[in-house]
A and B are shown apart, each in its own frame.
Chain A
Amino acid sequence: MKAAQTITPDYLLKQLPKATALVNRKQLLAGASDSWLNLFGKGKKSMIGQDVKTLFASHEQIDLNALDNLLCNGESGFLRHKTTMDNTTRWFQSTFSPWFDDKENVLGTIIQTDDITEHVETRHELDRIKTLFKEKSEVARVGCWEYDIATEELFWCEETKKIHEVSPGYIPNVNEGINYYKKGYSRNKISMLFHKALEEGKAFSERLEILTSKGNEKWVKASGKPIVQDGSVVKLFGTFQDIHEQVMLEIKREENERLLTTLINNIPLNVFVKDKDSRKTLVNKSECDYLEKSQEDLIGKDDFDLYDAKAAQISREEDLEVMRTLKPLIGKETISIKKDGRTTNFLTSKIPLLDLEGNVNGLIGISMDITSLKKKEDQLRNLINVTAVQNKKLINFAHIVSHNLRSHSANFSMLLNFLEQEDNESEKKHLLKMLAQASDNLMLTLEDLNEVVTINTNVNLQKKLLNLNEVVDKVLQDLSTMLKKNRVEIINTVPKNKKVLSVPSYLESILLNLITNAIKYRDPERNPIIKIRAAKEKDKTLVQISDNGLGIDLKKHGRKVFGMYKTFHDKKDAKGLGLYIIKNQIEGMGGAITVQSEEGVGTTFNIYFNEENR
């Protein structure tokens, strides 16, 4: 106890837990707690008696003038300062108060220094957050609002007012606030949500439309949250965000997407997108329909999964070329063969697809099914060929007609001219007889021409599948007398059930003409032999009739064998019409006739019958 009584004031000071210093009027440190000394000079004793200002000067951000004032005038006050030790900054607040003796004389100044680092940092953080929040709300156009149930006051922040396009001084109330929402869905919805938040404490967040005070329509996101105290809602607060541009962009994007989807799915073209490995990543409806698979089944598949291997390889090579060169493949005619062998002609375009960095990451393919066009084209080409052939025939026929008719008319003209100048009666009679003869000749010629015309116009005659042997037998029966008389040997090796597709009367006429010709132009030196055989050759049936007759010099006459009124042997009954007519008949049925011959050996006619009915 005694010891406690004798303790010196200095020692007491030294032990004070709060950093405290005493400064005399000369502004020299008179004494200090260890904790204070620690703050300024790592607790060195030698600091006692030093100038306090020098000690403070070792800290940063100290206002030395203010310090001077506080120390000289013995006023109360505080100063802030900080120090950085071992990379950590600490903030201090030193409180200055006058130091009195027991007679109220000022002896100096008492300084108490507190560590306020935590306080300062909290303060800074708050400032920072406030600033950040303000900036954010400006940038993001997020405002806030607050509603006090007790006072029925509605508060809008600056940004909320900006969004409503009202003046900063505007004071809203709940009714007005709700009436800014667009009549109908938006207004009904916000009323309901606001009510529910008040009554049931339910938070909300909804995209709605408002009509600003300037009459502009805007999309906003209104959120609200109740503050509950003692079980009842006392306040509502929330955010209010201008999302107009965002919503508009979304609507625009959605519209674009819908447009694109509608377009891609309804365009009558096959559209697909492939990745770098030629796997499909998008297919449209046409492509699905063509491949007879669902969209899900096609995504991720490559051409090898869908097409014949050869066709797939060609397609893959095209893909690689397009992706390598970045040059689009436009309108190439391609043939696609499905696994089951069905083929389709396409007009295909492949366009390289680049990502946002400009690197190729696949391709867009567009193909148009031109199978039916192709078929039509083939038909048309066929038709042109047929027309060209027919045209040629027609010109040829026109020549024949003009020549044959002309020769008769020339005769008439000549004979009439003679008749005019003739005085002799018996000579006149002779001339009239000649005229009658000329007239008969003209009639015969017209009959011949008519026969040819009939073949060429009767294109609709029905072809039938005929038993070749039956027809051969019938013709041989008709010619039996002639055959017997000339001792003709017939060698018929046509298979029993051989059928040919022909107009019945044509087949008869063809066989009759060729067999008759063979007999007519027999070699008188030997007995005539006529061979008839039939064989299948590609998609045609070949009927061959060969004889051992006189033969024709084809080098000389080959061109004219089937011509009208061409005969090559001195035979009285040769009119030169038979071969011309049967050639027309055969060609009229889509067939062909050829001849091989050697003088003194014989002649062979080959007739090709089409097996298909066309």
Chain B
Amino acid sequence: MKKIDSLYIVDDDPITVFGIRKMLKPVVDCDDIQVFENGKTAIEAIKTRNGQGRPVPNIIFLDINMPIMDGWDFLEEFGMLEFKEKAIINIITSSIDPSDYQRWSDLKSIFPHHLNFKNKPICKIDDSDLELKNVSQER
């Protein structure tokens, strides 16, 4: 059981949200799990946090294809915000378009937070989805 302060799920598909929540239950102890239907509502909540001087959510599960503001546009705005801490962002997509994977691998090295790329279906939450240890050693 890993203790996590704050966790966001950004996905417009209720089934995926249900699945992520279900998989998190046995491995994560978190009192603050928030779900957003698109990038816009999520980024607004994060901006509010930032404005209040609260820390960045530790973990974000992010869908790419969403209405109004998609995952990439969300990341673009998120990347501009100043946070002391580093978040782990798990991109979860059903897209098998190679251009999405390429975009992730291009963005990963310059993005201020840690970016994971996971293809649906996901059946369990990996340790690396929740912990930063490898990255922190590298840096």
- Residues of A participating in the B interface, judged by any CB pair closer than 8 Å: 399, 402-403, 406-407, 409-411, 413-415, 417-418, 434, 437-438, 441, 556, 565-570, 574, 576
Contacts and interface: CB of A to CB of B under 8 A. Distances in A.
B123 A414 contact: yes
Given A415-B15, A566-B67, A568-B68, 20 more contacts: A403-B65, A403-B95, A407-B16, A407-B65, A411-B13, A411-B19, A411-B121, A417-B121, A417-B123, A418-B19, A418-B22, A434-B18, A437-B14, A438-B15, A556-B73, A569-B68, A570-B38, A570-B40, A570-B68, A574-B67
A508 to B, nearest CB: 26
Interface of B: 13-16, 18-19, 22, 38, 40-41, 65, 67-68, 73, 94-97, 120-123
Contacts of B13: 407, 411
Contacts of A403: 65, 94-97
Nearest to B73: A556
B120 A407 contact: yes
A413 B67 CA distance: 24
A407 to B, nearest CB: 4
Contacts of A406: 94-96, 120
Given A403-B97, A407-B94, A565-B67, A434 B15 contact: yes
B90 to A, nearest CB: 15
A243 B89 CA distance: 108
A403 B63 CA distance: 13
A411 B122 CA distance: 9
A399 B97 contact: yes
8 contacts: A407-B94, A407-B120, A411-B13, A411-B16, A566-B67, A570-B41, A574-B67, A576-B67
A418 B13 CA distance: 17
A interface, over-half SS: helix
A437 B15 contact: yes
B75 to A, nearest CB: 14
Contacts of A574: 67
Point out which of A399, A403, A556, A576 has the most chain B C-beta atoms below 10 A from its C-beta.
A403
A409 to B, nearest CB: 8
Contact of A567 (B16, B67, B97): B67
Contacts of B122: 414
Contact of A414 (B38, B68, B97, B121): B121
Contacts of B121: 409-411, 413-414, 417
A371 B123 CA distance: 65
Given A407-B94, A407-B120, A414-B120, A567 B18 contact: no
A567 B68 contact: yes
A307 to B, nearest CB: 56
Given A399-B97, A415-B15, A410 B67 contact: no
A32 B56 CA distance: 166
A410 B121 CA distance: 4
Contact of B19 (A415, A565, A567, A576): A415
A556 to B, nearest CB: 7
Contacts of B16: 407, 410-411, 414
B56 to A, nearest CB: 24
A388 B41 CA distance: 39
Contacts of B96: 402-403, 406
A582 to B, nearest CB: 18
A337 B63 CA distance: 63
A411 B22 CA distance: 13
Point out which of B19, B73, B94 has the most chain A C-beta atoms below 10 A from its C-beta.
B94
B12 to A, nearest CB: 10
A407 B14 CA distance: 12
A414 B120 CA distance: 8
Contacts of B73: 556
A435 to B, nearest CB: 9
A569 B68 CA distance: 5
A419 to B, nearest CB: 11
Contacts of A568: 67-68
A556 B65 CA distance: 15
Q: When A and B form their complex, which 3 residue pairs have the shortest distance between CB atoms, in order from nearest? A: A410-B120, A407-B94, A567-B67
A51 B79 CA distance: 152
Contacts of B15: 411, 414-415, 434, 437-438, 441
Nearest to A404: B94
B40 A565 contact: no
B66 to A, nearest CB: 9
Contacts of A418: 19, 22
Contacts of B95: 403, 406
A108 B93 CA distance: 158
